[in-house]
Structure 1
C-alpha cells in the first residue's frame, strides 16, 4: 500500500532518526538522508535537520515527497545592491523566496545566507514563479524599520505582467474574504470588516508578441512561437496581498499567461509576472532600483 505524502507518527521506542526512517518507510538511505538534509522532517513540531535521537512519546511528522526546486549555480550574480543594512536581489522564476514547509534549503533566503554567511530578514515576498526585485534586511533593526515602511505603504513597487486579455489603465479595488485558500475569489465590495482590501493601478497596457517579451524565456516556454500575442501591463501595487495581481487580473477576466491556477488557458510551467521596480526612503536616504534583464531568465541555471 502506498504511503501518504505526509506521515504522522508517535515514537514507541528510542532510536535514531535515520534508523527509524529506514525501518518505517519504503525508502533507501540516500532518500532518508535527503529528507533530513532538506528539512522535510519535524520532531515535536520543530524542524529537524540532523540524525537526532528519538524518544518514546515524541511526535514525528515526515514529508515523504518534498517539492524540489532548481537553484542557481552562482547566487552572487543575483545581488543587485549590497547595502550595509539591506540587499536588493533579482529573484529568478521558479525559486521560492523563503523556506517552504518541506524544503528549507532550495530557496533564495537560504542560498543568500549561505553565500554571505549571515542571517537575512525578508522584507516582502514574491510567489515562486514571480521573478524580479526582492528586498532583504541584513539585521533585526533594519528589518524593524522596513516593517514600519511596509505597514505604512512607503515601499513602492511596480510589476510587469503579461496577460491573455487587456486590462485598461486605471485604479482597481477589490476585496478578499478572510479564511480562503488559493485560488482566491475576490469581490467588488467589502462584505464585512474582516475582508482585506486589494488595491493596484494599471499604469499602462499594450498588445505585444509573446515571443518578443523579455518576460518570456524559451527555456521556460518551449512552445514560445505558438503563444501568439498578449497584453503587457505595467502595474503599481498599493497593497501586498498574497497572489494579489494574479487574483485581481483573474477577477477582471484577464488571467496572466501560464497561470493555470487563476484560469489561464495557456499550458505553461510558470506564469509571466515580474517585480520590475522598487523605491523607498530609508533613514532619510532615497533609493530606487529597476530590474531590466540583460540575459535569458534561466541562464543562471545553466
Structure 2
C-alpha cells in the first residue's frame, strides 16, 4: 500500500502512514514525517446529555454500514476485537464512548464519535495513498484498523478528505517519502488514470470532503483522515431555540454561544452553530454561513436560508454595507477613538501586529466609542465560562468597551487591544504575550521598544521568540461579544443579549 511513513509496527496491518498534528493545534508539526503528538486537551465545564436527534442522525447510517459489512465482510481488515464488538448482524444502535487506551497501538479503543467527550483527544491525522481501489469505508477500515461505525461517523462529521493526486511533500520529507510520491505521480502512471484527464496537476491535487461511505476511491487517490476531530461539547449544553434572535424568510440571526464554531471546522462540520440551529428550528434545508466570528466569541451571527441570499449577504459585506458593534471586556483601559495597526499577512495564529506601517501588511482599524470601568467577573461566572487564569496582575476591575469594527480581520480586536497592553479577559492566546511585553519591552520585534537587528536571521529568531510568548486558543469564552449587527443603512438591525460577564450567578 502506498502511504507516507515507515511501515507500521503492527504486522497485522501492512501500511505506511504519516501522523500529523491537528491544523488548529498551536504546535505545528512536519506534515510528511515522523512526529510526536502534542497534548491539547481542552477542559470542559460540566457534564451534559446527548440529544436524541443527534444520536438518531448518526444512527441512520448504521443500517447502511451493516449492509456494507454483510456484502464485503471478508474484505474488511479491522481488528478481531472490533469485529466481535460491532457484530455487523446486530441491529443495536446504542452509541457509546470510551477513553480506554489500547496497549497495542497506544490509541483509544475506538467505537463511536458520540457521546462527545468533555476533552479533545491529542491530534491524529493520517495521510494515505490508495493502493487498492474500492469503497472508501472499506479502505480506511483496513488501512488504519478502525471499526466501520467509527469511520462512518468520521465521514458524517466531514473529517475525511481526498484528492485525485497526492500533494507535493514538504522539504522535510524523507528520501523514502519522496520516492513514494514520485512513484504514484509519475507521468506514465498519471497518464493511465482517466479520472484526471483534462485536469492540471494542481487541479488534481485539490482536496475535497468525502461525503459518502460508499464513495469509490481508485488506486493513487490521496486520503487525509482526521481520526481525532476537534470536538465542541458546548453544543450539547445550549438551549438553541432561546439563542435565536430572528427568523426571516431569507436569513436567521443567532446569538452565538461562546465555545462553539459558527459553521464548523476543517474536521468537524457536525458540531456547529449552523447544524444545531437548523435542527432547533426544524428546517429541512441546512443554514448557510455568511460570516465568521471566533469560537471563543459570542454574539450576533447571520445565517442564510438559501444559496441566493448567501451570495447577497456576501455582496453586502464586500460593499461595506454591514456594520458590526462589539462589546469587549479588557484588562486595562483603552483610549477612545480610532486605533490603527498593521497585521502580518500570514493566515496563522497568533496574528502579529505592528503600530508602524509595514509594506504588505493589512491595515486594521477599530473605533472605541466608549470605555467604562466595571467589576471583574466573579469566580462563579469565570468557572461557568471556563475563563482561564492567564496571570494578569490586577483582577479587581475590568473595562467594558463599545467598539465599532471598521475592518474585519481574524483576531483583529483581540490582537489590537493586546498591542495596547489591554488584552481581553480570558484571552489565553494574546494575554501572555502582552504580559511578556510589559515585563520585557524589547521582546516584541514590532513594538514601540523594538530592537535594531543586525541581520534578517537575528530578526527572524526574534519573531519566532515573540510568537512563542503567545499562548493557546481559549477553550470556551473570552471578554468579547458581537453586540450588534446591521445592514442596509440600519434598515435591518439586531442585537445580542447580555454578555456573559454581566451574569451575577450561574
TM-score by length of 1: 0.85
User: What is the rounded CA distance, in whole Å, between the counterparts of 2:416 and 2:501 in structure 1?
Assistant: 28
**Gap runs ≥5 in structure 1:** none
Q: Hey, what does 2:135 align to over in structure 1?
A: 16
Of 274, 282, 286, which residue of structure 1 is paired with 2:481? 274
The answer to whether the 8 A contact 1:93-1:297 is kept is: no
The answer to whether the 8 A contact 1:161-1:274 is kept is: yes
The answer to whether the 8 A contact 1:159-1:236 is kept is: yes
User: What is the rounded CA distance, in whole Å, between the counterparts of 1:41 and 1:286 in structure 2?
Assistant: 42
The answer to whether the 8 A contact 2:260-2:295 is kept is: yes
The answer to whether the 8 A contact 1:161-1:235 is kept is: yes
Q: Hey, what does 1:81 align to over in structure 2?
A: 246
1:96, CA displacement in angstroms?
A: 0.6
1:109, CA displacement in angstroms?
A: 1.8
User: What is the rounded CA distance, in whole Å, between the counterparts of 1:149 and 1:213 in structure 2?
Assistant: 41
Cα-to-partner distance string for 1:56-76 (whole Å, 9 max, x where unaligned): 222111112110012145432
Q: Hey, what does 1:47 align to over in structure 2?
A: 209
Of 415, 419, 426, which residue of structure 2 is paired with 1:251? 419
Cα-to-partner distance string for 1:269-298 (whole Å, 9 max, x where unaligned): 33121111122227xx71221112399999
Q: Which SS does the other structure have where 2:429 is aligned?
A: helix
The answer to whether the 8 A contact 2:300-2:484 is kept is: yes
Q: Which SS does the other structure have where 2:264 is aligned?
A: coil
Q: Hey, what does 1:292 align to over in structure 2?
A: 497
The answer to whether the 8 A contact 1:164-1:231 is kept is: yes
The answer to whether the 8 A contact 2:232-2:260 is kept is: yes
User: What is the rounded CA distance, in whole Å, between the counterparts of 1:227 and 1:147 in structure 2?
Assistant: 40
Of 329, 348, 362, which residue of structure 2 is paired with 1:181? 348
Of 321, 329, 332, which residue of structure 2 is paired with 1:154? 321
Closer, same or farther in 2 for the Cα pair 1:252/1:3, shift >3 Å? same
Q: Hey, what does 1:63 align to over in structure 2?
A: 226
User: What is the rounded CA distance, in whole Å, between the counterparts of 1:18 and 1:180 in structure 2?
Assistant: 33
Query: How do residues 222-233 of structure 1 correspond to structure 2 at under 5 angstroms?
Result: 228-233=396-401
Q: Which SS does the other structure have where 1:156 is aligned?
A: strand
The answer to whether the 8 A contact 2:387-2:478 is kept is: no
1:255, CA displacement in angstroms?
A: 1.1
Structure with more relative contact order (C-alpha pairs < 8 Å, separation 6 or more): 1
TM-score by length of 2: 0.53
The answer to whether the 8 A contact 1:171-1:200 is kept is: yes
Closer, same or farther in 2 for the Cα pair 1:297/1:82, shift >3 Å? farther
Q: Hey, what does 2:307 align to over in structure 1?
A: 140
Q: Hey, what does 2:144 align to over in structure 1?
A: 25
Cα-to-partner distance string for 1:63-113 (whole Å, 9 max, x where unaligned): 121100121454322211111122111111011111211111111122334
Q: Hey, what does 1:102 align to over in structure 2?
A: 267
1:213, CA displacement in angstroms?
A: 11
User: What is the rounded CA distance, in whole Å, between the counterparts of 2:322 and 2:419 in structure 1?
Assistant: 25
Closer, same or farther in 2 for the Cα pair 1:195/1:223, shift >3 Å? closer
With 205-214 and 172-181 compared, the bigger mean Cα shift is at 205-214
Q: Which SS does the other structure have where 1:178 is aligned?
A: coil
Of 278, 295, 302, which residue of structure 2 is paired with 1:128? 295
The answer to whether the 8 A contact 1:217-1:297 is kept is: no
With 51-60 and 83-92 compared, the bigger mean Cα shift is at 51-60
User: What is the rounded CA distance, in whole Å, between the counterparts of 1:258 and 1:6 in structure 2?
Assistant: 29
User: What is the rounded CA distance, in whole Å, between the counterparts of 2:388 and 2:419 in structure 1?
Assistant: 27
User: What is the rounded CA distance, in whole Å, between the counterparts of 1:212 and 1:235 in structure 2?
Assistant: 24
Closer, same or farther in 2 for the Cα pair 1:250/1:143, shift >3 Å? same
Aligned CA-pair RMSD? 3.1
Closer, same or farther in 2 for the Cα pair 1:249/1:129, shift >3 Å? same
The answer to whether the 8 A contact 2:377-2:502 is kept is: no
Closer, same or farther in 2 for the Cα pair 1:260/1:218, shift >3 Å? closer
User: What is the rounded CA distance, in whole Å, between the counterparts of 1:297 and 1:110 in structure 2?
Assistant: 28
Cα-to-partner distance string for 1:105-156 (whole Å, 9 max, x where unaligned): 1111223344422243323211001001111222233333322321232211
The answer to whether the 8 A contact 1:38-1:49 is kept is: no
Cα-to-partner distance string for 1:162-181 (whole Å, 9 max, x where unaligned): 11121122111111132352
Of 359, 367, 372, which residue of structure 2 is paired with 1:201? 367
**Gap runs ≥5 in structure 2:** 1-8, 10-17, 21-123, 164-206, 436-470
Cα-to-partner distance string for 1:3-38 (whole Å, 9 max, x where unaligned): 442221111113333333332225444533332221
1:198, CA displacement in angstroms?
A: 0.9
